[in-house]
């Protein structure tokens, strides 16, 4: 098979364009800020400036219901969240039942302007799939990413002694509720 000079130039141009398309995302990933550098622009959110709330209703799929846990900046300055929240279930006496939520997904910094909201996805597994004697719970104890003060949310579910039936991912920008905005 013979190529003309014109065909050779077209192939070379196409390969150059394909190489550039691959190089742009790689360069962007290499330039992505690390957590400490990105948080320098906005201090970490504090418990006093963060309101935690649960997006209802949940979405069910194969023995798990998925909820959006929302983190709103109620302060007057931008702040940042990084990583995973701490989430566990409590019984009516305020005692932790089962193990805290396990984590999944890549961590990254999310900057919240005043009035802004970020979210995580909480997967709550049906306790009957994990143990023979599920225990009733009444609330979720949620520590926003990087915070040491918990907020309590109403949440009637069942848990297993000595096991986790919860999974939570890393914080994402914006609300996790379709068609809902906070600004």
pLDDT in tens, 15-66: 444 444 333 333 333 333 344 444 457 999 999 999 999 988 778 788 899 9
* Residue 25: predicted pLDDT: 36
Contact between residue 73 and residue 117 where contact means Cβ atoms under 8 Å apart: yes
Question: Could you give the 3-state DSSP secondary structure of residue 67?
Answer: strand
DSSP annotation of 14 reads: H
Cα–Cα distance for residue pair 69/131, rounded to 1 Å: 25
Residue with the bigger pLDDT between 80 and 11: it is 80
Pairing mode of beta strands 166-169, 102-104: parallel
pTM to 2 decimal places: 0.74
Task: Report residue 181's pLDDT band, with 50, 70 and 90 as the boundaries.
Answer: low
The beta-strand segments (E) located in 108-169 are 109-112, 117-125, 135-143, 151-159, 166-169
Task: Report residue 92's pLDDT band, with 50, 70 and 90 as the boundaries.
Answer: very high
DSSP annotation of 44 reads: B
* Residue 3: predicted pLDDT: 43
Contact between residue 153 and residue 54 where contact means Cβ atoms under 8 Å apart: yes
Per cent of the chain over pLDDT 70 is 74
pLDDT of 112 higher than 90: yes
* Residue 57: predicted pLDDT: 77
Contact between residue 70 and residue 47 where contact means Cβ atoms under 8 Å apart: no
Contact between residue 130 and residue 176 where contact means Cβ atoms under 8 Å apart: no
Q: What is the CATH number of domain 47-173?
A: 2.60.40
pLDDT of 161 higher than 80: yes
Which residues, in sequence order, are CB contacts of 83 under 8 Å at separation 6+? 35, 107, 145, 146, 170, 171
């Amino acid at each position: 098979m013979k190529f003309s000079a014109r065909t050779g130039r077209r192939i070379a141009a196409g390969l150059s364009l394909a190489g550039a398309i691959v190089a742009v995302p790689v360069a962007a990933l290499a330039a992505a800020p690390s957590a400490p550098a990105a948080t320098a622009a906005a201090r970490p959110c504090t418990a006093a400036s963060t309101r935690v709330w649960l997006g209802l209703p949940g979405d069910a799929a194969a023995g798990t219901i998925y909820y959006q846990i929302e983190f709103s900046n109620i302060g007057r300055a931008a702040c940042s969240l990084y990583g995973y929240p701490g989430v566990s279930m409590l019984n009516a006496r305020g005692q932790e039942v089962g193990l805290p939520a396990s984590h999944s997904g890549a961590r990254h910094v999310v900057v919240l302007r005043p009035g802004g909201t970020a979210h995580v996805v909480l997967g709550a597994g049906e306790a009957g799939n994990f143990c023979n004697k599920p225990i009733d719970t009444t609330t979720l104890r949620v520590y926003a990413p990087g915070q040491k003060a918990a907020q309590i949310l109403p949440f009637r579910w069942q848990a297993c002694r000595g096991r986790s039936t919860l999974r939570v991912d890393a914080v994402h920008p914006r609300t996790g509720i379709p068609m809902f905005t906070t600004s």
